[in-house]
Amino acid sequence: MSTQRLRSILPHIEDLTYAELKKLKHQVDDLISKNQVGEVIAKREENLVECPHCSCNRLARWGFTKQGIQRFKCKACLQTFNALKGTPLYRMRMNQKWLKYNELMWHGAPLRKCAAELGINLRTAFRWRHAFLKAPSSIDVQPLSGVIEADETFVNESFKGKRKLHRSARKRGGGKVPKTPILIAMNRDGSVVHEVVDQNTKESICRFLQPKIAEGSVLCTDGNKSYIEVANGCKIDHKRIVGLDKIRVVEGIYHIQTLNNYMMNWKEWMVRFRGVGRAYLPNYLSWFRYMKQNRKSCQGLLLTAVTNT
Q: Where are the domains of the chain?
A: 3-82, 95-138, 147-276
Query: Strand 192-196 and strand 237-240: pairing?
Result: unpaired
* DSSP-based three-state secondary structure for 256: coil
Query: For the residues 2-13, what does the mean pLDDT come to?
Result: 76
Task: Single out the residue of 140, 180, 141, 176 nearest to residue 157, CA to CA.
Answer: 180
User: Would you place residue 34 in the very low, low, confident or very high pLDDT band (cuts 50, 70, 90)?
Assistant: low
In whole angstroms, give the CA distance from residue 158 to residue 169.
11
> According to the model, what pLDDT value does residue 174 have?
63
Strand partners, 64: 70
Packing angle between helix 111-118 and helix 122-138, nearest 10 degrees?
120
Q: What is the tens place of the pLDDT at every residue in 232-245?
A: 888 899 999 887 66
Least confident range from 133-142, 143-152, 168-177: namely 168-177
Is 86 within 8 Å of 79 (Cβ atoms)?
no
pLDDT for 33 beyond 60? no
**Domain formed by 147-276, architecture:** 2-Layer Sandwich (3.30)
User: Is the Cβ–Cβ distance between 184 and 267 less than 8 Å?
Assistant: no
Identify whether the C-beta of residue 242 lies closer than 8 Å to the C-beta of residue 250: no
Query: What is the rounded distance in angstroms from the CA atom of residue 89 to the CA atom of residue 132?
Result: 8
pLDDT at residue 30, as a whole number: 65
Q: Are 262 and 184 in contact (CB under 8 A)?
A: yes
Residue 31 pLDDT > 70: no
pLDDT per position as a tens digit, 47-95: 888 999 999 999 999 988 887 889 999 999 999 999 899 888 888 888 8
Nearest C-alpha neighbor of 227 from the set 199, 201, 263, 188: 201
Express as a percent the part of the chain with pLDDT over 90.
46
* pLDDT score for 295: 81
User: How is residue 50 annotated by DSSP?
Assistant: S
Q: pLDDT value at position 1? A: 58
Write the pLDDT tens digit of every residue in 279-290. Answer: 999 999 999 999
pLDDT band at 183 (very low <50, low <70, confident <90, very high): very high
Kindly report the pTM of this predicted structure.
Answer: 0.80
> How does the average pLDDT of the chain come out, rounded?
87
218-221 and 147-156: which strand pairing?
parallel
Residue 202's identity, in one-letter code, is: K
Q: Are the C-beta atoms of 32 and 39 separated by less than 8 Å?
A: yes
Among residues 298, 277, 294, which one has the least CA distance to residue 136? 294
- Say what the pLDDT of residue 265 is: 96
pLDDT of the residue at 19: 86
Question: CA–CA separation, 193 vs 142, rounded Å?
Answer: 9
Q: Is residue 210's pLDDT more than 90?
A: yes
